[in-house]
Chain A
Amino acid sequence: MALSINHNAHTGALPDFRNLGILLRILVIVNGTVLLTALLQVQSLRDWPRQITGNASLVEPLLILSLLVLAAIGPALRRLPYAAGAAAVLAVEAGLTTALHYASHWLLIVDPASLTRWLVVVLLVTLVLLIYFDLRGRALSPALSEARLQALQARIRPHFLFNSINAVLSLVRQEPRRAEAALEDMAGLFRALMADNLELAPLSDEIELCRQYLDLEQLRLGDRLQVEWHIDKMPGDALVPPLALQPLLENAVYHGIEPSETPGVVSINIYAVRDRLHVVLRNPYRVTGGHHGGNKMAVGNIRERLQLHFDVAAELTTRVGDNLYEVRIAMPYVKAGRT
């Protein structure tokens, strides 16, 4: 399925040719190759720019055409087994090279080098790029089980777990119904934490999870925790990496609310502008005192997963303001049911 994380430890996968990051990488690598080969071809450095222009006039049409074609048929190719997909990409490149070769004869009346040599170079570069993207995918996703374990440890703060159990225990006798609701929230939360979490999930599910989490914290912290939701303009059908928000809220409570004797507000603001989804989380922040460590971990973990799904198209930034800590996420607005 096209929306799953496209790399894992065992099988290779074609890159997403519609992703800006992938496109940029291809452009940089191919054009870099052009620059370097031009450098080898010339006698003196003065001739370098001219040689580059010459080479580029041959390479760029093919490059741009290839990117367009791959972007068009990419999703279909990615549904094939990896070997077949890779072979298809090579075949596309060979076809385009041949077509351009003859087209340039007819149209531009230039005489490029022999077709065979062109084919060898194009196929080699394509192969190198495919291998590069495959290796990069593997490097970004450590062995699956290990990743899952680490993620779990990063997300369940023992402190939260035991305090929540304790809070539920206190309700069992006096308010059995609230205890039931709290246990249901806990079950929901842990089910999500222990799930595979490799595929993008609807934002509305993530919000539900956040609500369950915050209800549990509210149980313990009472009035000290105040939550402001600004999600009227939120597109519930947007797809996001699972657990992209809940760990950030946990951070907000742990660092912003718990160390403070006075009540504090955690605010969640989610909206879409054109094809971008924006999430802004704010919590009170004080420089001195409070809990130590652990903060960078959740943020780093989420940033890594955003990158895995969206490459450079997603960004996560944090800011410390006047008694305020803010996390901003911007990512592509991918609608559910459209792959």
Chain B
Amino acid sequence: MNVTPLSVLIVDDELPARSRMRDLLADISDALPVTVAAEVATGREALEAAEAGGIDVVLLDVCMPGMDGVEVARHLQQLERPPAVIFTTAYDAYAIRAFELHAVDYLLKPIRAARLQEALTRAVNTITPKAGVLRELQQAPRTCLSAAERGRVHLIPVGDILYLRAELKYVTVRTAEREHLIEESLTRLEQEFAERFVRVHRNCLVSRAAIRGFERIGAETGEGGWQVLLAGLEERIPVSRRQQHLVRELAR
């Protein structure tokens, strides 16, 4: 029987953990042919490796500096054919409870070869965790938003975002350089990044850090309103009547 070996990406910030995983994959290769496509130490490298394509399963450490495993999994979903994801963790009571709750596959380090084989076998036949489930798993706000662009994942660091505006089906993400479209709900974004963004209008969240001031418009006509000025942006964002109190709170 000639099976194409399963192509696996190992993601873990700790070198010994990666080499242990490699050993284990070698151990089970008789029963389940596997090739290690790459092994990387950070979430960003993982996304780059996955974009190159051809990866069936990502063995993804949950606890990593910078971008954690769950966030990586969320960005991976922007790919046209997202790989299956198996989370690995040494100990994280919260994450483990969440995995159990949503029936997401995970492996506890130190990992046993038999468990790894089981999980890989299952992964081939199952689809990746759903976006909603991953959202539930996320403990801390993401470090980046991601937009799919020509089969690649474009990462937008949350700190670079000036405003988020809901359009018909998408949310426009505006940075100093350009705009991106993402498929997310503005309300959920508002909840996730409550500390960073403030809602100035029914359809718009602006970055608190980017606010440079407020401008009064239409005072002559008596229907006065306010606009927000954002750093490095010509465009003005209108403040809705209901949110006018923000002008006083944020202007200072």
Contacts and interface: CB of A to CB of B under 8 A. Distances in A.
A159 interface: yes
Interface string A154-174: 000111011101110111011
B110 A165 contact: yes
Interface string B32-49: 000000000010000000
B90 interface: yes
B123 to A, nearest CB: 21
B140 A220 contact: no
A170 B65 contact: no
Given A259-B65, A289-B140, A163 B92 contact: no
Interface string B83-108: 00000001110000000000000001
A260 interface: yes
A260 B66 CA distance: 7
A163 B17 contact: yes
Most buried by A among B13, B42, B65: B65
Contacts of A163: 14, 17, 90-91, 109
Contacts of B16: 166-167, 170-171, 219-220
Contact of A159 (B13, B90, B139): B90
A169 B20 contact: yes
A169 B110 contact: yes
Interface residue tally on A, bucketed by range = 20 to 34
Contacts of A157: 91
A92 B18 CA distance: 70
A247 B202 CA distance: 49
Contact of A166 (B17, B92, B143): B17
A173 B22 CA distance: 12
The main secondary structure of chain B at its interface with chain A is loop
**Which of A158, A166, A167, A173 has the most C-beta atoms of chain B within 10 angstroms of its own C-beta?**
A166
A163 B15 CA distance: 11
Contacts of B42: 261
B19 interface: yes
A158 B14 contact: no
B136 interface: no
B215 interface: no
A222 B65 contact: no
Nearest to B22: A170
Given A169-B110, A171-B16, A173-B23, A162 B90 contact: yes
Interface in A265-293: 289, 292
Interface residues of B, number: 22
Contacts of A292: 139
A269 to B, nearest CB: 26
Interface in B48-102: 63, 65-66, 90-92
A174 B92 contact: no
Contacts of A167: 14, 16-17, 20
A100 B145 CA distance: 82
Contacts of B143: 289
Given A165-B110, A220-B14, A170 B19 contact: yes
A315 interface: no
Contacts of A158: 90-91
A217 to B, nearest CB: 10
B19 A166 contact: no
A258 interface: yes
Nearest to B15: A222
A221 interface: yes
Interface in A215-256: 219-222
Contact of A170 (B20, B92, B139): B20
A174 B22 CA distance: 12
Contacts of B15: 220, 222
Contacts of A169: 20, 110
A197 B65 CA distance: 34
Interface of A: 157-159, 161-163, 165-167, 169-171, 173-174, 219-222, 258-261, 289, 292
23 contacts: A157-B91, A158-B90, A162-B91, A162-B108, A163-B17, A163-B91, A163-B109, A165-B110, A166-B16, A166-B20, A166-B90, A167-B17, A169-B110, A170-B19, A170-B23, A173-B23, A174-B19, A220-B15, A220-B17, A221-B14, A258-B65, A289-B140, A292-B139
Given A162-B91, A167-B17, A258-B65, 6 more contacts: A163-B90, A166-B111, A167-B14, A167-B20, A220-B16, A261-B42
| The 5 nearest A-B residue pairs measured at CB | A170-B20, A170-B16, A162-B90, A167-B16, A158-B91
